[in-house]
Chains A and B, each alone.
Chain A
Amino acid sequence: MADGARYHASENGSGVATLTKQDFVSGQETRWCPGCGDYAVLAAVQEFLPELGLPLERIVFVTGIGCAGRFAYYMNTYGLHGIHGRAPALATGLAVSRPDLSVWALGGDGDMLSIGGNHLIHALRRNIPIKILVLNNQVYGLTKGQTSPTSELGKVTKSTPFGSEDQPFNPLALALGAGASFVARTVDRDRHHVIEVLRAASEHPGAAFVEIYHNCPIFNDEAYAALTDKDTKDAHQIRLEHGLPIRFGAERERGVARRPDGSLAIVEVADAGEDALLVHDAHRADPSMAFALAHLSQRVSEPTPIGVFRAVERPVHGESSREELEAAHEAIGPGELEALLHGGATWTVES
């Protein structure tokens, strides 16, 4: 066996304990449009990563194509900028073969939900140990403003001058339908919330799906304004917190309750009573409640839940075979190879 093949990631490498946000900033000049939501997400990610307690060399960002694709270049970690839509598949190959790494796949709504939709749902179904961040701005940015799979019906863009005729995806419902074990949503402009969600995602042992509402000031400005503007955000952000009744509003005067038919409704707490409020249970095995929450708002102009919708444990891809494979690979040598080559019926021709 060639010595060079043995890799040993150092446990404490380059001073893990003292890593700061600045350590995660790569030398490359950021080239997004001024005011782009990508800056906020990048800053939040860089601020959060020291918390992982890993050497930066054990972290990998894998991206696809789109404005968000450049993310990989701006992180001072290992980075792999792949092709359009394929980040979850690239990340799958990397994560299953290197379980010692923290692998993050990142892309926009077009990248992850349109051209890469198949890879996304299969990574979630397999519960690959990767963190998937979908920066959803409901439009194509890099190709200069076409409709995306999350653009609303009737959306006028360059490619839909008469308005989009296509029903948009509900990304969270899609992820839940694919069997995702972790599903969350956050908003670019709320750095604390983004970091909170990143933390929960990183602590989750399997695939984590995080939708980040993200503002594209050039092609779809203020799409989430209701959720982020000072004046409107309290009335629109429904912050999900595990184990607590779901309430929102400046005075926490509104809440989410279950109707007799099982569907969810937004209610005035004063009318419905506190006991009627739904207590958020992210760990419920049955995904129907998370699914109902994902469908609570049809438009971002309505009160919209953010936070962790679902976080359940189920077998992580590759975990059951990991030890066997690693041990096998450590043990295999010329003797085992010899035995393999001589498997089946053999015969010898004497000289």
Chain B
Amino acid sequence: MSRTVDKDRVVIRIAGDSGDGMQLAGGRFTDATAVFGNDLATAPSYPAEVRAPAGTLRGVSAFQIHFASRDILTPGDRPNVLVAMNPAALKSNVDTLESGATIVVNDDAFSKRNLAKAGYDANPLEDGSLSEFRVYRVPMTSMTVKATESIEGVSSRDGARAKNLFALGVLSWMYGRPVEVTEEWIERKFANRGAILTANLAAFHAGYNFGETADLLDVRYRVKPAALRPGTYRNVDGTTATALGLIAASVTSGLPLLFASYPITPASELLHELARQRSLGVRTIQAEDEIAAANMALGAAFGGQLGVTATSGPGMDLKAETIGLAVALELPMVIVDVQRAGPSTGMPTKPESADLLMALYGRHGESPLPVIAAATPAHCFDAALEAVRLAVDYRTPVILLSDAFLANSSEPWLIPNIEDLPRIDPRFAQGPNLDGEFLPYLRDERLARPWAIPGTIGLAHRIGGLEKEDGTGNISYDPENHARMTSLRAEKVRGIARDIAPLEVDHEDGAELLVLGWGSSYGPITAGARRVRERGGKVAAAHLFHLNPLPANTGEVLRSYRRVLVAETNTGQLSQIVRAEFLVDAESFTKLEGKPLLAAELEREILERL
């Protein structure tokens, strides 16, 4: 008989060959966990190659989920449980496990050949090298084949392919996940494929029953539902949340969405996601290159639509010229940069938030624009709406920074009420704005210019990248006019500080150290600070969602702490900015490993400074 142990939180990593269906198993476990009511955060990791050789370290695909009976902020630092479908999956993940972790292996896959492919000289299951872990050897392949062999039309090969669902069944038993969620999914997914449907259900049940009946697994864990804020939730990754945010902005503004982009990892998923939404009025174009994508979005903006383009670092380099044109044209446009490790091609699948200075300054001439950074996967929804709001209200391109970690990671999202979404009003120019004339660069109280779209009678006008005369928009090389236009463009963007939320501080009485972050460091910083507090340390934390302009109270907040620590996955870009802007002697914690920051790293860095 197995005993049941209560746990506050668990981190599970499911790893196998990229052909083993690990992402699928992880996704199903996530759905069941979400429906069960735990708070959760997930992060996948894929091989860099499309078809890496089977059984090798390079071919390992993994999925990590952190779930808990309270709210959590990251996919977890060190897994407590590893499911390894083959030796390569074990080898490439064992170093990340906490001491005493549970390892469940597919025993059938530990053949001589597979061990050799993974670079093992001896079988680690037998040579004592895993002694610090609790290892369960489950013959998953053969048990799946046995469970499916009597099903007509299912070969033993087909049967073996369902072993990911067997593993999912074992995990579902271990953590008491509701089976109906998975059963329903299998039934939907394989609705028209009789024998395969039966085989997948059989494999899942076999795994679950194995836990129930075999003496091998001697412990079950209970992670109670978390007390989340009331409301309806769904699990979203950053890509989906961004897509939903853009569509929501299109609907609330009444601006049809034109999304143009060029395939690039890890931003392509956003194109895929939006390309499916034609029935919601979303038009997507896969452009011939990054430059064209930006120009198509800008052309649509000139026509009075919501023009959006998305890319990752290398694509940003190429779009810079067009973004500069958008700054000069003063047209709304959103550029999503899903950051990845650079320079150059760098590590396309690995996260790094090192495009901040490029977003702020990476164009020739004086070309200021608002920059926003999403903090968590679900926050991408709000960030996308905010980017569109600022773009439309201020007639400006806006860069929305996300990263490879946010794009692929998921967490529960409290679905907002439609009425609570920000109202975005395009305020198209309808007629003359000065003594019967139309001046395309006559500004309003926000210093935004009129958006007069083709087709509007009486407002035909011409704009371009050449410097424009204040008010009329006519070409002007006048020195004073250029100085004035430069400062008007800058003033307009600076003025946005009056229109955004102040920097909020998660303060603790007596705290002298403030940890400041931006982008996806939100989770690890908040979790790290929380751990320090649990240990009695006093620390404050604040997170910047707007990177340009910075919230109006930023300087005041920073100066009210004796020490400021800026944590980011670059060489210290935000810390440079706050030092330059506010003359604050900010310290920097940086990490450049193509991996997100970990809560434990923040905990350590904070403790060292207390």
The answer to whether A93 and B299 touch across the interface, beta carbons within 8 angstroms, is yes
Q: Are B418 and A89 in contact (CB under 8 A)?
A: no
Interface status of A349 (Cβ within 8 A of chain B):
yes
Say whether B474 faces chain A, with CB atoms less than 8 Å apart.
yes
Q: How far is the CA of A101 from the CA of B303 in the complex (A)?
A: 9
Residues of B within 8 A of A97 (CB): 256, 258, 283, 299-300, 303, 305, 307
The answer to whether B460 touches A76, judged by C-beta atoms less than 8 angstroms apart, is yes
Contact with A along B413-448 (1 / 0, CB 8 A): 001101100011111101000000000000000000
Q: Which residue of B lies closest to A346 (CB)?
A: B234
**B495 in the interface, Cβ–Cβ < 8 Å?**
no
Closest A residue to B309 by CB, please name it. Answer: A93
The verdict on B34 contacting chain A, using a C-beta distance below 8 Å, is yes
B345 at the interface (CB under 8 A from A): no
> Measured between alpha carbons, how far is A75 from B289 in the docked complex, in Å?
30
Rounded to whole angstroms, the CA-CA distance of A8 and B428 in the bound complex is 12
Given A7-B428, A80-B463, A82-B465, do A57 and B458 touch, yes or no (CB 8 Å)? Answer: yes
Check A14 for interface membership: any CB of B closer than 8 A. yes
Interface residues of A in 68-99 (CB under 8 A from B): 69, 72-73, 75-83, 86, 89-98
Query: Separation in Å of the A339 CB from the closest CB of chain B?
Result: 10
Interface: B233 (CB within 8 A)? yes
User: Of B296, B418, B426, B459, which one neighbours A2 at CB under 8 angstroms?
Assistant: B426
A82 → chain B closest CB, angstroms: 6
Flag whether A351 is at the interface (Cβ < 8 A): yes
Chain A residues, Cβ within 8 Å of B295: 82-83, 86, 89-90, 92-93, 119
**Binary flags per residue of A281-303, CB closer than 8 Å to B gives 1, else 0:** 00000000000000000000000
Task: Report if A62 contacts B (CB, 8 A).
Answer: yes
Does A1 reach chain B (CB closer than 8 Å)? yes
Question: Which residue of the partner chain, among B234, B303, B462, contacts A73 with CB atoms under 8 Å?
Answer: B462
CB <8 Å contact, B298 and A347: no
**Docked complex Cα distance between A45 and B87 (Å):** 71
| Given A118-B288, A337-B247, A337-B418: A7 touches B300 (CB 8 Å cut-off) | no
Q: Which of A155-163, A207-215, A225-233, A320-328 interfaces with chain B?
A: A320-328
Is A51 an interface residue when CB atoms closer than 8 A count as contact?
no
Question: When the two chains form their complex, are residues A86 and B35 in contact, meaning their CB atoms are under 8 A apart?
Answer: no
Contacts of A10 in B (CB 8 A): 455, 457
| A2 in contact with B254 (CB, 8 Å) | yes
**Chain B residues whose C-beta falls within 8 Å of the C-beta of A65 in the assembled complex:** 465
Task: Write the A150-180 contact mask toward B (1 if CB under 8 angstroms, else 0).
Answer: 0000000000000000000000000000000
Please, which residues of chain B bring their CB within 8 A of the CB of A341? 234, 244, 248, 415-416, 418
Taking a contact as CB atoms closer than 8 A, the residue among B234, B299, B428, B466 that contacts A90 in the complex is B299
- The digit string for B283-323, where 1 denotes a CB below 8 A from any CB of A, is 10101110110011111111111010000000000000110
Contact of A93 among B303, B458, B475 (CB under 8 A): B303
Q: Which residues of A contact B322 (CB under 8 A)?
A: 83, 86
Task: Give min CB distance, B284 to chain A, whole Å.
Answer: 10
Q: Is the CB of A57 within 8 A of B464?
A: no
Cβ of A270 within 8 Å of any chain B Cβ, yes or no, is no
Tell yes or no: B230 within 8 A of A by CB: yes
CA distance A97 to B283 in the complex (A): 8
B346 at the interface (CB under 8 A from A): no
Distance, CA A58 to CA B475, complexed state (A): 23
Chain A residues within 8 Å of B235, by CB: 344-345
Chain A residues whose CB sits within 8 angstroms of the CB of B291 once the complex forms:
86, 89, 119
Say yes or no: A58 contacts B465, CB within 8 Å: no
Q: Which of B88-96, B189-197, B274-282, B542-550 contacts A (4 or more CB under 8 A)?
A: B274-282
The answer to whether B287 touches A5 (Cβ under 8 A) is: no
Q: Is the beta-carbon distance between A7 and B292 smaller than 8 angstroms?
A: no
Query: Beta-carbon contacts of A25-58 to B below 8 Å, as 1s and 0s?
Result: 0101000000000000000000000000001111
CA distance A60 to B455 in the complex (A): 9
Do residues B303 and A332 form an inter-chain contact, with CB atoms below 8 A? no
Question: In the complex, what residue of chain A is closest to B454 when comparing beta carbons?
Answer: A78
Interface size class of A (residues with CB under 8 A): 35 or more
Q: Which residue of B lies closest to A73 (CB)?
A: B462
Q: How far apart are the CA atoms of A86 and B260 in the complex, in Å?
A: 14
Whether, in the assembled complex, A260 has its beta carbon less than 8 Å from a beta carbon of chain B, the answer is no
Q: B31: CB under 8 A from chain A? A: yes
Which of A1, A56, A77, A342 interacts with B415 by CB under 8 Å?
Answer: A342
Q: Do A118 and B455 touch across chains, with their CB atoms under 8 A apart?
A: no
A2 & B288 in contact (Cβ 8 Å cutoff): no
CB pair A5–B299 under 8 Å, yes or no, is no
CB distance from A164 to the nearest CB of B (A): 26
Question: For B234, what are the chain A residues with a Cβ–Cβ distance below 8 Å?
Answer: 341-347
Residues of B within 8 A of A17 (CB): none
Q: With CB as the reference atom, state the residue of chain A lying closest to B281.
A: A329
CA distance A59 to B454 in the complex (A): 7
**Given the contacts A5-B428, A118-B288, A348-B233, A90 and B35 also touching, CB distance less than 8 Å:** no
The answer on a CB contact under 8 Å between A346 and B460 is: no
Proximity bits, B219-235, A CB within 8 Å = 1, else 0 = 00000000011111111
Is the CB of B54 closer than 8 A to any CB of chain A?
Answer: no
Q: Are B260 and A332 in contact (CB under 8 A)?
A: no
Chain B residues with CB below 8 A from A262, complex form? none
Asked if B464 and A101 sit within 8 Å, CB to CB, the answer is no
Residues of B within 8 A of A324 (CB): 278-279
A5 & B254 in contact (Cβ 8 Å cutoff)? yes
B573 contacts chain A at the CB level, 8 A cutoff: no
One of A78, A83, A349 near B461 (C-beta < 8 A) = A78
Chain B residue at smallest Cβ distance from A98: B303
Please determine whether B464 and A81 come into contact, CB atoms closer than 8 angstroms: yes
Residues on A with C-beta less than 8 A from B305 are: 97-98
Q: Is B181 an interface residue (CB 8 A)?
A: yes
Given the known inter-chain contacts A336-B251, A346-B234, A350-B230, please indicate yes or no for A2 contacting B425, CB distance below 8 A.
yes
**Would you call B292 and A118 a contact (CB within 8 A)?**
yes
Asked if B325 is an interface residue, CB under 8 A from chain A, the answer is yes
Q: If the complex has contacts A334-B418, A340-B244, A341-B415, are A349 and B231 also in contact, measured as CB distance less than 8 A?
A: yes
Please give, as numbers and ranges, the residues of chain B lying within 8 Å of A78 by CB-CB distance.
454, 460-462
How distant is the Cα of A93 from the Cα of B425 in the complex, in angstroms? 22
| Bound-state Cα–Cα, A346 to B456, Å | 44
A345 with B35: CB separation less than 8 A: yes
Contact: A347 with B253, CB < 8 Å? no
Q: Can you list 19 A-B pairs, Cβ within 8 angstroms, ordered by A?
A: A2-B426, A4-B430, A7-B304, A55-B457, A69-B464, A80-B463, A81-B465, A82-B465, A83-B325, A89-B296, A93-B295, A93-B303, A98-B304, A325-B278, A325-B282, A340-B244, A342-B415, A345-B35, A346-B415
Q: Add 19 more A-B contacts to A97-B300, A122-B292 (CB < 8 A).
A: A2-B423, A13-B457, A28-B474, A28-B475, A80-B302, A81-B464, A93-B307, A94-B302, A97-B299, A97-B303, A122-B287, A340-B247, A340-B277, A341-B416, A344-B234, A346-B233, A347-B35, A349-B230, A351-B230
